[in-house]
Amino acid sequence: MPLAAMKKITKRTAQELVAEYGTPIDLVRLLKDEEITLKREDMEDSISGMIVIKPADTTIVVNSSHHHSRQRFTIAHECGHYFLHADSASAFIDQSEKIFLRDAVSACGTQRQEVQANWFAAELLMPKDYLLKKFDTKKIDLYDDYPLRLLASELKVSVQALVVRLTALGLIPNDCYEPHV
Ligand SMILES: [Zn+2]
């Protein structure tokens, strides 16, 4: 599938869910409506989570030792596999570094699915339209990270994830922000 088409489908799928489940997204209600079981388990630190997709019996498992905002990102990422990739595989296991650091699109199909699940999670947790409205009238003060912390807390995401998102949307110039964390 061409990249542009892949992006469009990802965005559209996430936006439909955002319209229904709000911002910050109500993941509990979404999982309940889809009859997806969520389990939090003590896992190896390198594993963020996994999803096993079965008809009427889908389970997402997240690493309970990870920070809450990170668990939310993992759940959103796994939902990406559920909504976008259920036809191609029935199980996905996600390693932390792969989930969080991968943003380049490689030719490999599996890696593309991981990138797509990240796009999906980003749009679900930090919707583009919502952020554009937030930053429509005011510039982000790069020397004051309080507004970013506030927004991250409002969206229940990490400051790091928010900065990555804002940079990707062109709202923060590349390499201009050093989070004080
Ligand atoms: Zn994944």
Q: Where are the domains of the chain?
A: 3-125, 128-181
On the question of pLDDT at 172 being above 90, the answer is no
Q: Among 29-33, 108-112, 131-135, whose mean pLDDT is lowest?
A: 108-112
Mark the residues whose beta carbon lies below 5 A from ion ligand 1.
Answer: 92, 94, 114, 117
On the question of pLDDT at 165 being above 80, the answer is yes
Give the Å distance between the CA of 114 and the centre of ligand 1: 5
Give the Å distance between the CA of 139 and the centre of ligand 1: 33
Which regions of the chain does DSSP assign to beta strands (E)?
36-41, 47-52, 58-63, 91-95
Measure the CA–CA gap between 152 and 166, rounded to whole angstroms: 11
Give the Å distance between the CA of 78 and the centre of ligand 1: 6
On the question of pLDDT at 136 being above 80, the answer is no
> What is the residue-averaged pLDDT of the chain?
87
Q: Which CATH class is domain 3-125?
A: mainly alpha
Kindly indicate the confidence band of residue 179, based on its pLDDT and cuts at 50, 70 and 90: low
Give the Å distance between the CA of 143 and the centre of ligand 1: 34
